[in-house]
Structures are given as C-alpha cells and as structure tokens.
Structure 1
C-alpha cells in the first residue's frame, strides 16, 4: 500500500475540497454544480464525507485494513451511483459525470487494495 499512496491522497484532497467548498463559498459551489433547493442537504452530504477522509488517512498512513477499505469503497459506490442515476434522469448537471468518472477510478483502486495482501 505504501508504494502507491498517490491515489488515496488525490481522493483525500478531492473529498476535502468537496466537503469544505459548500461551507466556504456556497454561491460558487452552486455556480458549478447547479442550483439546489435543499441547502441543508448539500451541507449534510458534505459533512458525511469527513469520516471517509479520516478513513483514507488511516488506511494510507497507518493500517491497511480490508474492512476499512470496504467502508471507503461504500462511499465511492454510493456517490458514483447517485451521480449516474440522477444525471441520466436529467436532475443534475454534466459536471457530476466528472465526479462519476473519478469515483469509478477510486472504486477500481480500492477493489485492488482489498484483493492485495496486507503488508501491515
């Protein structure tokens, strides 16, 4: 795991940016992602990313644990599924397909990590 730590840190930065952005500048977040009726829901989803950020740090720096990797993977699968479903329904903007592609990359990475033997 230590050899290929760049992708977890990309995901960490991306999730951190996604989590903090609506709290720092909601107007620019809406300018990119489209207007939202339920601001509380945007902020709730943002806050729900924080535990996954901590899990990514834990797995990348401390311990390679298949159970924790599966928890990270669940966030990736959930976000990718929501992105694809609501984009195809015409509810969200095309920018969410960028997130979908990134989440697919994270899914592939973490699936490979679950299959890899633990080094710690």
Structure 2
C-alpha cells in the first residue's frame, strides 16, 4: 500500500482520464444492456439460467462504469479509482477466460481481450503517475566522519 500512498490524488493525467472515460462508457453500455433488454443480451451472449443474477452483475458493472466516467470527465482519477478500474478489468477477464471455453459463450473471449487492453492501459497509466510523483526528501549529507558520528563541530 506504500506504493499507492506515494501517488497524489490531484488532477489526473490525460492517459488516466481518457482511459477512465473509455472504460466507463464500455461498462455503462454493457452493464445497462441486460437491464434494458435481456432477450437481446442473451441472443449475443447465450442463454442464462438466472436473469436476476445477470441483471445484478450488469447493475454493478454499470455503477463502476458511471463512477469511472464521472471521474475521467472531471480529470479526477486517483490511485483508488485506478485500482478499482484495473481490478474490475482483471476480475472480469479472469472469469471470461476461466469459463468461456466450457460453460459460457465464446463471445466472452472478446470481452476478455477488451478487459486485457484496459488492464494494460491502467498499468501504463499507473507507471506514468508513479514516475511523476514527488521525489522523497533526500537524507542529509555528511561532510566529515565527525558529522556522521554526531559529534558537534
């Protein structure tokens, strides 16, 4: 957590803001879709046993997307939001990859690819932010062995 604490929550860079907007739009769209028209969602992604569960997950994804979109448009993408965005992308990609070959539609492999692109983008944005962080104050330099030992001069 020390790495996250070293990042400043001020205005975010262009990369993080644009990425938050892109992921926000993607998540709002894909999250709201099953809420608005479950039948067309199932036509693309395959039949689902529990419609209520699909709608619950969709609602949660839409909320994450709305939060990302709002922060990105305001250029206020802090470390916590970056962690939420990257964690969401990683979690959804992991589920897509784990279950797509056997239990769910192969169309989820396309989603896994999109989530991987988002996750890569967040790694780049975090590295960029990390490089821009404030440098720590260097320790005092000693000019003689007596100074280093703490002897008064």
TM-score by length of 2: 0.69
Task: Please name the residue that 2:75 is paired with.
Answer: 62
Which of 96, 101, 125 pairs up with 1:83?
Answer: 96
Which structure's residues are more often helix, by fraction?
1
Is 1:95 matched with 2:102? no
CA radius of gyration, larger in: 2
Which of 35, 53, 60 pairs up with 1:23?
Answer: 35
Is 1:109 matched with 2:98? no
Distance 1:86 1:93, change over 3 A: same
TM superposition shift of 1:8: 3.1
- Structure 1 unaligned runs (5+)? none
Provide the rounded CA distance (Å) in 1 between the counterparts of 2:63 and 2:126.
Answer: 19
TM-score by length of 1: 0.86
Provide the rounded CA distance (Å) in 2 between the counterparts of 1:36 and 1:26.
Answer: 9
Provide the rounded CA distance (Å) in 2 between the counterparts of 1:103 and 1:63.
Answer: 22
Provide the rounded CA distance (Å) in 1 between the counterparts of 2:47 and 2:68.
Answer: 30
Task: Please name the residue that 1:43 is paired with.
Answer: 55
Task: Please name the residue that 1:8 is paired with.
Answer: 20
Aligned length: 119
Provide the rounded CA distance (Å) in 2 between the counterparts of 1:31 and 1:70.
Answer: 32
TM superposition shift of 1:100: 0.2
Distance 1:10 1:76, change over 3 A: same
Aligned residues: CA RMSD: 2.1
Aligned to 1:35, the other structure's residue is in SS state: coil
